[in-house]
Amino acid sequence: MKNAPGFACGRVSSGSRRDRLAPRARPPRCDCRCFIIPTDVLERMAKDKKLTPEERKPFVDTMKVEKEWRKARVALSKLSHLVRTVLPAAPAAAAPAAPAVTVFDCAHGTTLPGSPVPNPGTAPDAVAKRAFTETQAVADFYQTCFGRNSVDDAGMTLMSSIHYSINYNNAFWNGTQMTYGDGDGNIFIDFTKGNDVIAHELTHGVTQYSARLSYTNQAGGLNESVSDVFGSMFRQWQADQDVTGADWLIGSDIMGPGATARGFTCLRDLSNPAAKHCLAPQPTKFSQYRDGLDPHFSSGIPNFAFYKAAMAIGGKSWEKAGKIWYQALTGFPPSPNMRMSAFAKRTRSLAASMFPTEPAVRTAVDKAWTAVGL
Ligand SMILES: [Zn+2]
């Protein structure tokens, strides 16, 4: 591995009226590189001699585009932050009860957002239909389990663009919307097929409007980790799985035949972050952390802690461990440079205050962090 990189959850409850009508709280900021596939993986595949030049090309092309996307996002972030700081704006209108979900088709072009897909929920294109239904399900997951109304908790429309470019090997949240590539069909397939991928990326939006974790060093690792944690929880919630029935994998449904033939079954595995079946294996101990690591890499440490806590608590991950992690992420003022030990301390404290009659929950969370060296 190298340096490069709720309480019981029914389906009818929703956020309180006060929550739904709350004005958009703090100015959002996204200076993140919120791609599902880490640069390290793209680089490795772009140079992989086991692949033909034709098979390497989509990775080379995707890398070129991402470098420019990253520059553009940093610039856009600075500009939008300046605009919100300097220019007057009317108060936000009352939020809708649930976010609208829209889908746009890039038709293999690169202009965002592309053309609107009418009635995407019943569209003949399975990709459009899937982007719509899974995004709506993620919104439902956040509202039902955590009382959150969209990524900003103010009903923000959730917008997705599909069929971005040709053979594009990634999916990303750019601060305002989701974009999905179709994959090269060899290492990766259609990125909308990963329900955990969709929840991972939209959770970057939740982080953007709550803890506002940066995307470097320890805060970066925490930012990536909460996206994996809520991505995996969403996958478990959809399948109604308890912690022992869950696969704890990220990206298993977007792996193409060329990846599985080489033994890769996922991008990451919360239950075994360093496993060889991970296309992007990760550290499991804080002693392996150092500044400058790719957040997709350092996120293995808090990922493993969440897995251990959820397993020790048992039952459905989103009912207790998930509630604690959600509150740690969203229940405090923004903390862009948060360290992992501070997040661990917060969850230990919340485990005791949120489940005062269940000391085993506090013990599980405490031991989970201790096991990873925090
Ligand atoms: Zn991410």
pLDDT-derived band at 86 (thresholds 50, 70, 90) equals: confident
- Domain check: are 42 and 162 in the same one? yes
Give the CATH number, domain containing residue 171: 3.10.170.10
Q: Extract the runs of DSSP E, i.e. beta strands, from the chain.
A: 34-35, 101-105, 115-116, 158-162, 171-173, 178-180, 249-250, 268-269
Q: Could you tell me if residue 1 is inside a domain?
A: no
**Distance in angstroms (rounded) separating the CA atoms of residues 324 and 190:** 33
Ligand 1 centroid vs 2 CA: distance in angstroms? Answer: 18
* Residue (of 97, 87, 99, 166) closest to 138 by Cα position: 99
Write down the catalytic residue from 163, 200, 204, 296.
296
- Minimal CA–CA distance to 341: which of 177, 206, 218, 191? 218
What are the start-end ranges of the H helices in 266-317?
295-298, 300-313
96, 113: one domain: yes
Residue 50: per-residue pLDDT: 87
CA–centroid distance, 30 to ligand 1, in Å, is: 12
Could you tell me the distance, in angstroms and rounded to a whole number, from the CA of residue 173 to the centre of ligand 1?
8
CA trace torsion 201, 174, 204, 258 (10° rounding): 30
Q: Are residue 268 and residue 198 in the same domain, yes or no?
A: no
Residues 191 and 295 in one domain: no
Q: Of 221, 369, 367, 200, nearest to 292 (Cα)?
A: 221
Top mean-pLDDT range of 20-34, 69-83, 223-237: 223-237
pLDDT > 90 in the chain, percent:
73
Question: DSSP 3-state assignment of 262?
Answer: coil
Instruction: Beginning with the edge strand found earlier in the chain, give each strand of the sheet holding 101-105 in spatial order.
Output: 34-35, 171-173, 178-180, 158-162, 101-105, 115-116
- For 359, the domain range is 217-371
For ligand 1, the distance from its centroid to the CA atom of residue 36, given in whole angstroms, is: 5
The answer to whether the peptide bond before residue 113 is cis (omega within 30 degrees of 0) is yes
Is 66 a residue of the active site?
no
Query: 108 catalytic, yes or no?
Result: no
* Mean pLDDT on 214-236: 96
82 plus 126 within the same structural domain? yes
Q: Is 158 left (phi over 0), alpha (psi -120 to 50) or beta?
A: beta
Residue 245 forms part of a structural domain:
yes
Please tell me whether residues 322 and 302 are part of one structural domain. Answer: yes
Strands 171-173 and 268-269: unpaired
pLDDT in tens, 148-171: 999 999 999 999 999 999 999 999
Residue 226 lies in a domain: yes
Out of 3-12, 117-126, 183-192, 290-299, pick the least confident. Answer: 3-12
| Residue where a domain terminates, one of 152, 187, 208 | 208
* Closest among 96, 93, 76 to 208, alpha carbons compared: 76
User: CA-to-CA distance for 280 and 297, rounded, in angstroms?
Assistant: 8
Q: 321-330 and 359-371 helices cross at what angle (nearest 10)? A: 70
Of residues 58 and 120, which shows the higher confidence score? Answer: 120
Instruction: Kindly tell me if the per-residue pLDDT of 253 is higher than 90.
Output: yes
Shared domain for 279 and 257, answered yes or no, is: yes
- Number of domains observed in the structure of the chain: 2
For residue 39, the Cα-to-chain-centroid distance in whole angstroms is: 16
- Positive or negative torsion for Cα 73, 76, 81, 82: positive
Res 91 pLDDT > 50: yes
The pTM (predicted TM-score) of the whole model is: 0.87
Find the catalytic residue in 66, 134, 201, 319: 201
Which single residue is written with the structure tokens 């974009």?
179
Q: Which two tokens stand for residue 280?
A: 């992007």
Q: Is residue 195 part of a domain?
A: yes
Distance 200 CA to ligand 1 centre (A): 6
